[in-house]
Amino acid sequence: MNDIYLQLHGDDKDSSHISADKFENAEDKLLDDFIDKFSLLEASQINKLIPESIKKAKIKEDLKSSIKCLDFDINLGPAFEILFKDRHLHIEEDKYEEMVIQLLNIADYIEQIDFSKPIEESFYSLFHISPSTMQSMFQIGIAKYNEEEFESSLSIFYLISSLDQTNADYWYRLGIIAIQIEKLNLALQGFAYAIFYNRDLMGARIFSAQCYLKLGEIEDAKAELTEIKKNSAKISSEPIWRELIANLEYEIKVKK
């Protein structure tokens, strides 16, 4: 991806055939894992006398509401349409055929998943999506970005980020694309995931701070700048980062 100032780092069977119940079960399972992973029950301010099952339901409800507020419900339709139709421009024919076959089989694999059990693999592994196909989708997403088809690129990067949830680079790039179309809350969400999976990804913090400034959330921007300065040794050798940080400091000072 030619990341504008980021050159430092780089038959109709489709999703509509997947049952809504399976998607709802998947969403519930992901939220359960999220709550457990971040110890949200222990951190919750909800009355300690309320049973954990009820508290968990409340937290899940709040998380779903937050996701909707953050506009994180991206339409994946364009992603599948592009991946199925735009092959010759961006990947070799054999890679295209491999990708289409694997994507068409996703619905069948979803039906086989028991969401009542812990999910210990990435979804791309569960859905038998090969690393080669992940790379093909990545390349197409980059091509769409370079063609300034940002909505299409965003849809593709949301798809591959969802399939490989722990890949910090995917979430990072999703955030960058979201900035291009002024979806700042979505960009912040992408950067938050990127930082969680790679705390050394200073670019994600810098762009998070920029987003906060655009949203008028000065204290959050200052908090990001503080974290950036803690790791200044990692970015001091890169003039472009130093320039961006200097700009951040100036903007924060002006907006105080």
Per residue in 162-172, pLDDT tens? Answer: 899 899 999 99
pLDDT of 84 higher than 60: yes
Domain(s) labelled CATH 1.25.40.10 in the chain stretch across 15-198
Higher pLDDT: 42 or 88? It is: 88
Q: How far is CA 245 from the centre of its chain?
A: 24
Per residue in 44-82, pLDDT tens? Answer: 444 444 445 555 566 556 555 444 433 444 566 778 888
CATH of 15-198, one of 1.10.3720.10, 1.10.1580.10, 3.40.630.30, 1.25.40.10: 1.25.40.10
pLDDT of 15 higher than 50: no
How many angstroms separate the most distant Cα atoms in the chain? 60
Contacts of 232 (CB under 8 A, 6+ apart): none
Distance CA 231, CA 131 (A): 32
Instruction: Output the pLDDT for position 87.
Output: 62
Distance CA 175, CA 154 (A): 9
